[in-house]
Amino acid sequence: MPHPSPPRVVAVVPARDEEARIGSTVTALHGLAQVAHVVVVDDGSADQTAAVAEWAGRVEVVRHERNHGKAAAMTTGAARAAELAPGAAVLFVDADLEASAGNLGPVVDAVLTGSADMAIAVLPPQHSPGGGFGLVVRTAREGIARLTGWTPTQPLSGQRCLTRAALDAAMPLAAGWGVEVGLTVDVLRGGGRVVEVPCELHHRVTGRDLASQLHRARQLAGVTRALAERSGVPRAAAGHARTAGRVVRSGAARAAAAGRRASSGRLGGAVRRRTGGTWHEL
């Protein structure tokens, strides 16, 4: 009698204007044994992000005709993931990780072994200089702590793996740059177990020029909005949340949690998937 295949995940990569990095990120994800499919959502790029992702091979590319924002790209990718592998966990990956995306295995294992409903990667100090002044991170961290009782190390980390059930329960995602904060609050309040997993990941660091500061202002607005929208939610799950969040250094040998199939939502504007060389509207 054949042995059942080990559980695997679908990697979803929201991307905009990442032609210089998306190819190596996709290639690195294919190097992870736990990844069954890679979905790249090109969120209205002005460059060749979609084409470069396709050249990397073995990837599903879905394209937004215009930019809808990160949360919308993640929603589109999650819907396609449900079609490719119903019930499978979803790994969200930022497009600029390049080769370091191949180090996401421990984050995936924390979910596939059943030790967490959502695992969040904690990044080390980055090679490139830059970074902000900590206002957005502090706002996110303190807001999550206030609403759930759990204080995350890196509240804005976009590298996170969720069971299908935890992701479905958190839909719809918080808009724009508040998506990670909203996910953390919603999963914890839903009774989910959230862990942080140190991972050797490296990405493009935002500088301190005017454009970078404007980006941080948009981030702060998105984070503040996500927190405000959740401030009136009953705190029934807060007691569980206080014990659910922790930092995990090694995986646990527990059975993989089962997910359920997602129901896909609608987005304004054209959303197309390319199959066999032709773009199709979703």
Burial (Cβ within 10 Å: 0-12, 13-18, ≥19) of residue 235: exposed
Residue 81 lies inside a defined structural domain of this protein? yes
Q: Which residue blocks in 159-234 are alpha helix, DSSP H?
A: 164-169, 179-189, 210-230
CB 32 within 8 A of CB 58: no
Residue entry with tokens 């405000």: 228
Q: What is the CA radius of gyration of the chain?
A: 18
Q: Show the tokens assigned to 8.
A: 């695997």
User: CATH number, domain at 86?
Assistant: 3.90.550.10
Residue 44 lies inside a defined structural domain of this protein? yes
Residue 17 lies inside a defined structural domain of this protein? yes
Q: What domain range is 109 assigned to?
A: 9-249
Q: How many CB atoms lie within 10 A of CB 250?
A: 9
One digit per residue, the tens of pLDDT, for the chain of length 282 reads 555 567 899 999 999 999 999 999 999 999 999 999 999 999 999 999 999 999 998 999 999 999 999 999 999 999 999 999 999 999 999 999 999 999 999 999 999 999 999 999 998 886 665 555 688 999 999 999 999 999 999 999 999 999 999 999 999 999 988 999 999 999 999 999 999 999 999 876 555 555 655 656 888 999 999 999 999 744 444 344 433 454 443 333 333 333 333 333 333 344 444 433 333 233
pTM of the model: 0.80
Amino acid at 12: V
Residue 265 lies inside a defined structural domain of this protein? no
Q: Show the tokens assigned to 88.
A: 């499978």
Quote the DSSP letter at residue 114: T
How many distinct structural domains can be found in the chain?
A: 1
